[in-house]
């Protein structure tokens, strides 16, 4: 047994590694791979029985860049001065290497890696340098069979399978169902990290990290108290997992970490199901770029109204799955309530038949719900209300019929001219709501993932409140993301790959303590 003194925990360690990686999603997998390849003995731990976090549920389109300098210009703009240039620079440089990096990882299982030209969401300088790297196929791999507990796009599962296969090829120890309770660190004022206390199926183990600990354990979308304290609007429902409860943020705070971007989260709006533990986001429609509204040509079948039946937003902003929750934040100081929480989506029989309006995602073997293709299951269960007239529908959802009828009349008038002069929804997404029966579904703000957490520098070292790196403590992925103002589709996936590489290499390159 190794020994240490002057720490906040036990002086004896039950096991020793060079690097402990906390959290086994994209960033944790990459960090473990890179630390091992740099010569470190690595322990990879996750609190859940099934690794993958929310990464495995993603679309799997990793945001990549043809030119790092152009990518840097974009990141400087999209982060709105809330992220240091050095951090943006490191992310931009890494984005330019994602495609060849994934091609190298894909050699382990013959995965087919293909690029897809798709520029960034907003027309900031440098936006057209971006594209997406995807894994389109893995021979003899069926995501639904291999990950039956996951609901999401198959691309995300393919990326995670490729990371799993790479981890399995290396002598990396993996402990699942092993939440980290706290970090072990010196109490001599340096707060140098020395290991972690981990709850395992065989009891509590205190593990030495000779070089560093890397926190890759995600954000706090499943921590209700943190959401209440850091966000104005409430409630905000989580879409994918119950595991991201801010554990790494709490551990880093104990060592004096400075926090950033706590207000910012990747969000949308969606349904709350009484027998399903996660919010169900609305169907994702294609993104569009401001100034190129004519490219938004997929009709959205619904409009959104507040508690009083009044429309108040562009239901299809450029990146609906990221910012469409933001208009719901309005607080009425007279009534002391959020009049847009909950809101209601309104659609008609034509919309009901066009496509399913809900899209559950999850990484949870105990959650079982799939949205019906024709929306009838949800209508029959009462999750979506059905009526033969708008007036009847309004009564069912406790609204003044005249208000809801006026909103629908106005909307249909705008659809005639294909010009939403009220809120600027692209013309190609507009369609009348006029054919009975009519439908209403209650919707709430939804968080897909948070961006806030401990601040880090370009080397992924966690920074304390006095602007100093905490010795031997690193972060990667969404555990304090660099996205500080506007997100970019595929950006968190890219960040997981880039920051996981940086953190793994930096941690493995340290001299052992003691």
Q: What is the pTM of this model?
A: 0.96
Please report the pLDDT score of residue 162 as a whole number. 98
CA distance 89 to 183: 30
Asked whether the beta carbons of 19 and 504 are under 8 A apart, the reply is yes
Contact 27, 477 (CB under 8 A): yes
Looking at every residue in the chain, the average pLDDT score rounds to 96
CA distance 245 to 248: 9
Q: How far apart are CA 100 and CA 105, in angstroms?
A: 9
Taking only the tens place, the pLDDT of each residue in 101-129 is 999 999 999 999 999 999 999 999 999 99
pLDDT of residue 10: 64
Q: In terms of DSSP bridges, do strands 203-215 and 469-475 run parallel, antiparallel, or are they unpaired?
A: parallel
pLDDT band at 6 (very low <50, low <70, confident <90, very high): confident
Residue 49 structure tokens = 């029985």
Q: Are 53 and 149 in contact (CB under 8 A)?
A: no
* Confidence band, pLDDT 50/70/90 cuts, at residue 3: very low
Q: Which residue has the tokens 């709105």?
A: 80
Residue 368 neighbours by CB under 8 Å, 6+ apart: none
Looking at residues 459-482, what average pLDDT do you find?
98
pLDDT value of residue 473: 99
Residue 2 scores a pLDDT above 70: no
Closest listed residue to residue 462, CA positions, set 445, 446, 449, 479:
479
Q: Per-residue DSSP letters for 465-501?
A: TTS-EEEEEEE-TTTT-S--S---TTHHHHHHHHHHH
Q: What is the pLDDT of residue 8?
A: 85
């Amino acid at each position: 047994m190794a020994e240490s003194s002057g720490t906040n925990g036990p002086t004896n360690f039950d096991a020793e590694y060079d690097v402990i990686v906390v959290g086994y999603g994209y960033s944790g997998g990459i960090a473990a791979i890179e630390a091992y390849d740099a010569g470190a003995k690595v322990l990879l731990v996750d609190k859940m029985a099934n690794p993958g976090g929310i990464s495995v549920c993603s679309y799997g389109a990793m945001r990549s860049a043809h030119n790092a300098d152009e990518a840097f210009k974009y990141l400087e703009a999209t982060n709105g001065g809330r992220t240091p240039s050095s951090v943006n620079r490191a992310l931009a440089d890494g984005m330019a290497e994602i495609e060849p990096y994934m091609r190298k990882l894909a050699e382990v299982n013959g995965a087919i890696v293909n690029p897809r030209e798709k520029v960034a969401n907003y027309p900031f300088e440098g936006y057209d340098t971006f594209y997406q790297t995807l894994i389109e196929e893995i021979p003899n791999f069926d995501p639904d069979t291999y990950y039956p507990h996951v609901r999401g796009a198959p691309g995300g599962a393919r990326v995670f399978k490729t990371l799993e296969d790479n981890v399995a090829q290396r002598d990396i120890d993996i402990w699942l169902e092993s939440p980290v309770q706290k970090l072990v660190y010196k109490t001599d004022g340096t707060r140098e990290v020395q290991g972690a206390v981990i709850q395992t199926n065989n009891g509590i183990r205190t593990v030495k990290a000779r070089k560093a600990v890397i926190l890759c354990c995600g954000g706090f979308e499943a921590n209700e108290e943190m959401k209440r304290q850091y966000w104005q609007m409430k409630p905000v429902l989580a879409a994918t997992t119950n595991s991201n409860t801010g554990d790494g943020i709490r551990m880093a705070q104990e060592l004096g970490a400075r926090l950033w971007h706590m207000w910012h989260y990747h969000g949308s709006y969606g349904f709350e199901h009484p027998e399903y533990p996660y919010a169900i986001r609305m169907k994702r429609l294609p993104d569009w770029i401001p100034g190129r509204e004519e490219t938004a040509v997929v009709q959205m079948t619904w409009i959104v109204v507040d508690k009083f039946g009044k429309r108040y937003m562009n239901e299809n902003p450029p990146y609906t799955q990221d910012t469409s929750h933001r208009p719901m934040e309005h607080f009425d100081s007279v009534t002391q309530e959020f009049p847009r929480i909950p809101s209601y989506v309104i659609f008609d029989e034509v919309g009901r038949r066009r496509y399913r309006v809900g899209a559950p995602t999850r990484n949870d073997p105990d959650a079982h719900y799939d949205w019906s293709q024709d929306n009838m299951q949800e209508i029959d269960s009462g999750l979506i209300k059905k009526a033969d007239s708008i007036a009847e529908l309004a009564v069912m959802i406790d609204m003044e019929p005249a208000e809801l009828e006026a909103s629908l009349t106005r909307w249909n008038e705008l659809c005639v001219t294909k010009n939403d002069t009220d809120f600027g929804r692209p013309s190609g997404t507009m369609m009348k709501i006029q054919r009975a029966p009519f439908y209403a579904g209650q919707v709430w703000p939804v968080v897909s993932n948070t961006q806030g957490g401990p601040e880090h520098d370009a080397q992924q070292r966690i920074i304390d409140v006095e602007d100093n790196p905490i010795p031997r403590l690193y972060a990667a992925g969404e555990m304090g993301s660099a996205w500080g103002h506007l997100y970019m589709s595929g950006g968190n996936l890219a960040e997981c790959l880039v920051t996981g590489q940086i953190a793994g290499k930096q941690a493995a390159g340290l001299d052992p303590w003691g």
